[in-house]
Amino acid sequence: MAVVAETPLAAINETLFRLPIVGVIVYGAAITGGELIAERGVEGGDTGIAVAGMVILQLAFGVFGAGILSFVPAESRLAVLGVTAVVVAILTALVSGYVYARSKSFAHWGSYATYSFIGGVIAVAVGTFVAPVLLVGFVLIFLGFVLRLGWEIWRLRDRRDISVGVQTIGVYVAVAGVFVHVLQLVIRFFARE
């Protein structure tokens, strides 16, 4: 993100989010597709496919995060990323602590996450024409990634039949999704200050 923010790639968000629903669909497709490809590569033992999926995921989160980061003066970017990393680490520890402290299944959190993502995309579609609804879309997609993180942590705890590679990709995608949303909140906080 920090490196891409210095390149013309950081301007892609501006074009994609001229119509917010277009940006959400493009990044949503890149993240979903990248994860499926990476998982298929890991499960099939095909390193090339796995790396291709990981490159798509890194580019999707990297370019999206860089676009957000480009709103911040270059000299403040490191501080903003540092604060975001600390907030995400605390949030991840809270979700993990909650899941590990309770001896029950969190399988339903996967479904809740999916509903939250679908609701978020619908809200952004409406928000493309009625701007205030965009905030609902942000909250629902952010919540979707937090629930997805809890679901991934539960799978890590209880589903030892799933490969380490596939679970690593799942946890990474959930944390990265939370990260880019917290990044937006941190930047808004700094801008207000």
Partner 1 sequence: MVEPPMSSAETPYETGRGFGLSSREARVIGGASVLMAINVA
Residue nearer to partner 1 on the CB measure, 24 or 57: 57
157 binds partner 1 (CB under 8 A): yes
Select from 89, 49, 71 the least CA-distant residue to 190.
71
- The verdict on 58 binding partner 1 (CB under 8 A) reads yes
- The reply to whether 185 sits near partner 1 by the rule CB under 8 A is no
Question: Mind giving me the DSSP string for 93-130?
Answer: HHHHHHHHHS-S--THHHHHHHHHHHHHHHHHHHHTTS
Taking residues 76 to 95 in sequence order and writing x for each that binds partner 1 by CB under 8 A, - otherwise, the string is -----x---x----------
CB atoms within 10 A of CB 52: 16
Question: Looking at beta carbons only, is 30 or 85 nearer to partner 1?
Answer: 85
**15 versus 163: smaller Cβ distance to partner 1:** 163
32 contacts partner 1 (rule: CB under 8 A)? no
Nearer to partner 1, 19 or 55 (CB): 55
Name which of 131 and 164 has its Cβ closer to partner 1: 164
Q: What is the C-alpha separation between 169 and 165, in angstroms, rounded?
A: 6
Q: Which of 71, 112, 138, 172 binds partner 1 (CB under 8 A)?
A: 172
- Which amino acid belongs to residue 92? T
Side-chain half-sphere CA neighbours of 1 within 13 A: 24
Measured between alpha carbons, how far is 77 from 67 in angstroms, rounded to an integer?
12
Residue from 65, 120, 144, 150 that binds partner 1 (CB under 8 A)?
A: 65
Residue closest to 116 by CA, chosen among 90, 94, 142, 152: 142
Interacting residue ranges for partner 1, rule: CB under 8 A: 1-3, 54, 58, 61-62, 65, 81, 85, 100, 103-105, 107, 156-161, 164-165, 167-168, 171-172, 175-176, 179
